[in-house]
């Protein structure tokens, strides 16, 4: 592979041929703001935040879409660049509802972050917020198009990764909004409720319903673990407040590459369900009644022993579980092989 040398803000970097200015900048810790860019999605150059000056080029270039060439000289913070970015932010904020105090995305919102960094309030061209009704037809997430900055990440992730293509742009000019075609509700589309659009949204146009007004608190812990559903083994962060799971966000695991399906993203709330078994139960007079661990385990041990005594070691069997851990399956087979003394162990691998 050919190496190229590119000068960014007067520092020379080497990079492989074919990468963009943005990729070189990010790889080397040079801050270039973006709103519509995502490394896993196609490049659209829509938000105009990543504009930079390239020596010899007419006008500003978007770093996300411009492939670097050997000898290129790039400046990421000239007056024109900053002016252009500030203008973009002024305009995006001009009709953006100023609800940061109660906004679910505050603190992780890209628009808020850049507004702060570039000291832009949106007051210069202030106008009425756009008129859009909240779409709460999906049980897992809300769509508030007043908050949308039309970056299109949701449209692209739904189309390019999830393959559902449930979202698109409607209307033109500043009436442009993102939504299902023909003004349908999101539940009437090919949406598979995976929440990828929510994870990609840089503002709060798309937010999960569960955990609202709680997820922003400081005591949220993120616990990285493996999803408990199918065999793909997606890596997830459980968002935990004290002893309650409030949400799930995808982690860039080797298998899931930062994406989840509806079950992984939103199928967690069974954990808190009141139906959960909380104490051992034993059958007395035909009824299952609560018992202590000591009682229950003693009963099992006693029964197993007496059945072995009466009917031999082969008369007990275990169905282990494809939803329990390796360690638990190991122990279960060890229990049967080493303690009970048979090979009567199987599980539902075939179902």
Partner 1 sequence: MTNSIAEVKENDVLFLIGTNTAENHPVIWYQMVRALRKGAKLIVADPRETIPARRADMFLQLRPGTNIALINGIIHVIISEGLYDAAYVEANTTGFVELSRAVAAYTPDYVSQITSVPAELIVSAARTYAAGERAGVYYAMGITQHSTGVDTVQALSNLALIMGNIGKEFSGLNPLRGQSNVQGACDMGALPNVFPGYQSVDNPEIIEKFERAWGVKLSSQRGVRATEVGEAVGKGDIRALYIMGENIMVSDPDVAHVEKALKSLDFLVVQDIFLTETAALADVVLPAACFAEKDGTFTNTERRVQRLVKAVDAPGQARADWEIISELIRRLGHDAPYSGPEDIMREIAALTPQYGGIAYPRISRVGLQWPCPDEDHPGTRYLHSKGIARGKGLVMPVQHAEAQELTDADYPLILTTGRIIYHYHTRSMTGRVEGLHELAPQSFVEISPATAEQFSVEDGETVSVSSRRGTIETTARVTPRIKDGVVFIPFHFAQGNANVLTNVALDPVAQIPELKVAAVRICPATAK
Partner 2 sequence: MTTVQDLARIKDLQLSQRRGKRVLVGLATCGVAAGAEAIRTELLAAGEKFGLSDFAFDRTGCIGLCAYEPMMEVHRQGEAPYFYVNLTPERVREIVEEDFSGGRKLDQYILGGEPLKSQLRIALRNCGVIDPDSLEDYIAQDGYLALGTVLSTMKRPDIVDVIKRSGLRGRGGGGFPTGLKWEFTAKAPGDHKYVICNADEGDPGAFMDRSILEGDPHAVIEAMAIAAYAVGASEGYIYVRAEYPLAVDRLNRAIAQAEEMGLLGEGIMGSEFSFHLHLKLGSGAFVCGEETALIASIEGQRGMPRPRPPFPASKGLWGKPTLINNVETFANVPTIIRNGADWFAAIGTDKSKGTKVFALGGNINKTGLVEVPMGTRLREVVYDIGGGLPGGKAFKAAQTGGPSGGCIPAAHIDTPIDYDSLLAIGSMMGSGGLIVIDEHACMVDVARFFLEFTVDESCGKCPPCRVGTRRMLQVLERITAGQGTEEDIVKLKDLAEGMKLGSLCGLGQSAPNPVMSTLRYFEDEYYAHVREKRCPAGVCTAITKYWIDPEKCRGCTLCVKVCPVSAITGKVKEIHEIERDACISCGACQEKCPFDAISRR
Residue 63: count of CB within 10 angstroms of its CB: 29
Site string for partner 1, 128-167 (x = CB under 8 A): ----------xxx-------------------xxxx----
Report the interface residues with partner 2, using CB under 8 A: 43-48, 51, 59-60, 62, 64-67, 80, 83-88, 90-92, 94-95, 124-125, 127, 149-150, 152, 168-169, 171-176
DSSP 11-71: EEEEEETT-BHHHHHHHTT-----SS--TTS-----S-TTEEEETT-SS-EETTTPBP-TT
| Residue 264 binds to partner 1 (criterion: CB under 8 A) | yes
- DSSP conformation class of 280: -
When CB distances are held under 5 to 8 angstroms depending on the partner's kind, the choice from partner 2, partner 1, none that residue 97 binds is: none
Residue 213 interacts with, from partner 1, partner 2, none (CB under 5-8 Å by kind)? none
268 counts as binding partner 1 under rule CB under 8 A? yes
Binding residue for partner 1 (CB under 8 A) from 58, 101, 278, 309? 278
Q: CB of 213: closest distance to partner 2 in angstroms?
A: 29
Q: Which of residues 294-313 bind partner 1 (CB under 8 A)?
A: 296-301, 303-305, 307, 310-311, 313
329 membership: H or E segment, kind and range: helix 326-334
115 binds partner 1 (CB under 8 A): no
- In this structure, the number of other CB atoms found within 10 A of the CB of residue 82 comes to 13
How far apart CA 32 and CA 23 sit, in angstroms, is 10
Residue 349 engages partner 1 in binding (rule: CB under 8 A): yes
* Least distance in angstroms from the C-beta of 258 to partner 2: 24
Do 170 and 181 meet the contact criterion of CB atoms below 8 Å apart? yes
CB burial class (10 A; 0-12, 13-18, 19+) of residue 271?
exposed
DSSP labels, 109-131: -HHHHHHHHTT--S-TT--PPP-
Give least dist CB 171 to partner 2, A. 7
- Look at residue 60 and give the partner it binds from partner 2, partner 1, none, a contact being a CB closer than 5 to 8 Å depending on partner kind: partner 2
**Minimum distance between the CB of residue 298 and partner 1, rounded to whole angstroms?**
7
> CA nearest 46: which of 30, 59, 65?
65
Report helix, strand or coil for 3: strand
Is residue 146 a contact partner of residue 130, using CB atoms and an 8 Å limit?
yes
Q: How far apart are CA 304 and CA 296, in angstroms?
A: 12
CA dist 302 and 318 (Å) reads 16
Ramachandran area for residue 269 (φ above 0: left; ψ -120 to 50: alpha; else beta): alpha
Range in contact with partner 1 (rule: CB under 8 A) among 48-56, 73-81, 119-127, 253-261:
253-261
Shortest separation between residue 181's beta carbon and partner 1, angstroms:
17
Structure tokens at 343: 């090979």
Q: In the bound complex, what is the minimum distance in angstroms from residue 80's beta carbon to partner 2?
A: 6
Query: Which of partner 1, partner 2, none does 172 bind, CB closer than 5 to 8 A by kind?
Result: partner 2
Closest distance between partner 1 and the C-beta of residue 351, in Å? 5
Q: Which is nearer to partner 2, 124 or 272 (CB)?
A: 124
| Binding of partner 1 by 39 (CB under 8 A) | no
90 binds, among partner 2, partner 1, none (CB under 5 to 8 A by kind): partner 2
Q: Which does 48 bind (CB under 5 to 8 A by kind): partner 2, partner 1, none?
A: partner 2
Closer residue to partner 2 in complex, CB, 150/196: 150
Residues 124, 120: Cα–Cα separation, whole Å: 9
Q: Which long-range contacts (CB under 8 A, 24 or more apart) does 300-304 make?
A: 304/340
CB of 237 to partner 2, least distance (A): 31
Task: State the nearest-atom distance from the C-beta of 1 to partner 1, in Å.
Answer: 18
Give CA–CA dist 215/237, Å, rounded: 13
- Could you tell which of partner 2, partner 1, none binds residue 279, using a CB distance below 5 to 8 A set by kind? partner 1
């Amino acid at each position: 592979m050919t190496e190229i040398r590119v000068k960014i803000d007067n520092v020379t970097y080497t990079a492989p041929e074919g990468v963009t200015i943005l990729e070189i900048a990010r790889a080397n810790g040079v801050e270039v703001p973006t709103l519509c860019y995502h490394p896993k999605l196609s490049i659209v150059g829509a938000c105009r935040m990543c504009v930079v000056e390239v020596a010899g080029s007419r006008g500003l270039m978007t770093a996300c879409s411009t492939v670097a060439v050997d000898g290129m000289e790039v400046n990421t913070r000239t007056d024109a660049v900053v002016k252009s970015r500030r203008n973009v932010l002024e305009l995006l904020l001009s009709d953006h509802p100023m609800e940061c105090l109660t906004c679910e995305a505050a603190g992780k919102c890209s628009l808020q972050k850049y507004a702060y960094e570039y000291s832009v309030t949106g007051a210069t061209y202030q106008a009425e917020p756009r008129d859009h009704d909240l779409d709460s037809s999906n049980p897992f997430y809300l769509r508030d198009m007043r908050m949308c900055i039309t970056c299109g990440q949701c449209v692209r992730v739904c189309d390019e990764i999830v393959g559902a293509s449930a979202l698109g742009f409607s209307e033109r000019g500043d009436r442009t909004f993102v939504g299902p075609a023909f003004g349908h509700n999101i539940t009437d589309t090919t949406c598979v409720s995976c929440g990828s659009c929510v994870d990609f949204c840089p503002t709060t146009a798309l937010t999960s319903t569960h955990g609202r007004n709680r997820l922003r608190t400081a005591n949220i812990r993120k616990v990285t673990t493996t999803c408990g559903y199918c065999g793909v083994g997606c890596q997830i962060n459980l968002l935990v407040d004290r002893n309650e799971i409030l949400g799930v966000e995808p982690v860039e695991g080797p298998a899931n590459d930062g994406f989840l399906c509806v079950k992984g993203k939103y199928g967690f709330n069974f954990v808190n369900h009141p139906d959960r078994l909380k104490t051992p139960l034993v059958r007395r007079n035909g009824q299952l009644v609560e018992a202590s661990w000591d009682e229950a385990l003693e009963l099992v041990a006693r029964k197993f022993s007496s059945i072995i005594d009466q009917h031999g070691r082969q008369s007990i069997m275990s169905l282990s579980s494809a939803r329990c851990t390796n360690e638990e399956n190991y122990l279960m087979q060890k229990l049967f092989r080493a303690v009970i003394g048979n090979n009567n162990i199987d599980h539902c691998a075939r179902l």
